[in-house]
Amino acid sequence: MPIHLVWFRADLRIHDNLALAAACRNKNARVLALFLATPGQWQRHLMAPRQAAYLHAHLNNLRQQLAEKGIPLLYDEVDDFAAQAEKVAQICAEHEVTDLFYNYQYEVNEQQRDRALERSLQQVTCQGFDDSVILPPGSVMTGNHEMYKVFTPFKNAWLRRLKEGMPECASAPTPRGEEAVPAHASPLDFDYPQQPFDAGLFPPTEKEAIAHLRHFCKEGAGEYEAQRDFPAIEGTSRLSACLALGVLSPRQCLHRLVAEQPRALEGGPGAVWLNELIWREFYRHLMTYHPDLCKHRPFIRWTEQVAWQHDEKQLHAWQQGQTGYPIVDAAMRQLNETGWMHNRLRMITASFLVKDLLIDWRIGERYFMSQLIDGDLAANNGGWQWAASTGTDAAPYFRIFNPTTQGQKFDADGAFIRRWLPELASLPDKAIHDPWIWADKQGVTLNYPRPVVDHKQARAATLAAYEAARKA
């Protein structure tokens, strides 16, 4: 009898899981599942404690769902990727596995681990799948068969390629026998710090994630373009945490979007949220063709010459939401409190760290990863390099957000700021974005810091630093 082993990594779901579906296709095969926790590797990759808690919830949900299909989930904990590969090989030998199924991961360390494992498993057939993307890397290329470096041409080519044939979603497997886990089985656990997450904001089961996706595509995707930039409004999907752990697939997102918003592919309602899915694809494809992006290297090499400042006091003020710029501080406190930040605010806070404080973007990238429940290397790196003007298709280095006017534009009445900065709650709407100008005129002392930098002066210093680096 064939023994099929499905190795789950960042794909914690039973619906539209290409590796799981392929493993279950042979009705005569015995199917086993496997998850190996790697706390040492997670620590090196700065996994946020909230993301660890989210993973923990979904791992236990996955075990129960697999059990209902008659598929036992084997579980163990090892330190890092090297030990992970050794453990997989050991399990394959112990269970006389004939075929190993898994979904590709595109980061450098993960790819090296998989190649090493494939070389060592000479008696096992390894089958990998492009599951975390809608279109696989290499399928959307320029006429010279090179990876696109600019988003818009990539998007146009991606849409043309998609219209040739939309990839289907794979069904969840049909039951293969009796439930595989006894009802009294203790929860799976791992030795890594965990921090509670808000289950109302981040669906803790696959069933709830699917329901959340359906609701957003029906009720929110059509309004996304109009509402997405205003953090006081629940105008975004908040599905990024599900996508980061593979609780939902991007194909599920695409199919549900098109089902609820039929004109999304033609630029109608829902097209702007589709754009977000394509940005996600763009960054994952880029990482495959430019592995240095996984190694803290900028895409635009001359930016390595920027003379960054090393001001621990200013960095701490940014991290703690104490910069004296209300929209920046409210955003950072949202991140620290919830493990999530609104996308417009990710751009504003990243721009502030890099372009106002002139602090190396990689420090901000690492801090975000240490806090984000939706931490994802490709998306986080892509966003930071965009804000820092170091990446492909990045904002030009001379485009520098003014944090005060950004707040005035996207949180005009200060509703978001008041939620996260209660010390400013009683200020008039017009005063809340520049509170010290108002306070000094009124002779009032605020329990809120004065700005750590003057934006106009900081902007000039940043432009000089980038121009010096470009000419170096």
pLDDT per residue as tens digits for the range 128-165: 999 999 999 999 999 999 999 999 999 999 999 999 99
The answer to whether residues 249 and 13 touch, using CB atoms and an 8 Å cutoff, is: yes
Please state at what angle helix 343-351 crosses helix 377-388, rounded to 10 degrees: 50
Helix crossing, 326-338 with 403-410: angle to 10°?
70
Q: What is the pLDDT of residue 192?
A: 98
- Put simply, whether the predicted model's pTM sits higher than 0.85 gets the answer yes
Mean pLDDT of 424-450: 95
184 or 409, which is more confident? 409
Q: Residue 90 is which amino acid?
A: Q
Tell whether the model's pLDDT for residue 83 goes beyond 80: yes
**Do 30 and 70 contact (CB within 8 A), yes or no?**
no
Q: 238-262, pLDDT tens digit by residue?
A: 999 999 999 999 999 999 999 999 9
Helix (H) or strand (E) holding 469: helix 455-471
Q: Which two tokens stand for residue 49?
A: 């404690």
pLDDT of residue 184: 61
* CB within 8 Å of 391: residues ≥ 6 apart: 298, 299, 300, 381, 382, 384, 385
Q: Taking 70 as the threshold, does the pLDDT of residue 363 lie above it?
A: yes
**Cα dihedral 290, 291, 293, 297 in deg (nearest 10):** -100
Q: What tens digit of pLDDT does each residue of 195-207 get? A: 999 999 999 999 9
CB 219 within 8 A of CB 334: no
pLDDT bucket at 393, cuts 50 / 70 / 90 = confident
pLDDT of residue 395: 76
Band of residue 182 on the pLDDT scale cut at 50, 70, 90: low
pLDDT tier, 372 (very low <50, low <70, confident <90, very high otherwise): very high
Q: Is the pLDDT confidence value at 408 over 70?
A: yes
The rounded distance, in Å, linking the Cα atoms of 159 and 130 is: 18
Please give the pLDDT value at position 178: 73
Give the separation between CA 173 and CA 17, rounded to whole angstroms.
9
Report the pLDDT value the prediction gives residue 180, as an integer from 0 to 100.
64
Question: Are residues 305 and 412 in contact, defined by beta-carbon separation less than 8 angstroms?
Answer: no
User: Quick one: tokens of 23?
Assistant: 């493993």
Residue with tokens 């498993």: 121
- φ/ψ (deg, to 5) at 73: -105, 110
What phi and psi, each to the nearest 5 degrees, are found at residue 452?
A: -75, -20
Nearest to 217 by CA among 170, 265, 263, 253: 253
User: What's the rounded mean pLDDT across residues 52-79?
Assistant: 96
Q: Are 33 and 6 in contact (CB under 8 A)?
A: yes
- Has residue 34 got a pLDDT over 70? yes
Cα–Cα distance measured from residue 277 to residue 262, given in angstroms and rounded to the nearest whole number: 16
- Listed in order, strand segments (DSSP E) in 68-123 are 73-77, 99-103
pLDDT tops 60 at residue 183? no
Q: Which amino acid is residue 359, in one-letter code?
A: I
Q: How confident is the model at residue 9 (pLDDT cuts 50, 70, 90)?
A: very high
Mean pLDDT of the chain: 95
pLDDT value, residue 145 = 92
CA distance 341 to 350: 11
List the Cα angle 219/221/224 in 5-degree steps: 115
pLDDT of residue 120: 92
For residues 305 and 44, what is the distance between their CA atoms, to the nearest angstrom? 26
List, by residue number, the catalytic residues.
Answer: 276, 279, 308, 343, 361, 384
Q: Which residue has the higher pLDDT, 178 or 366?
A: 366
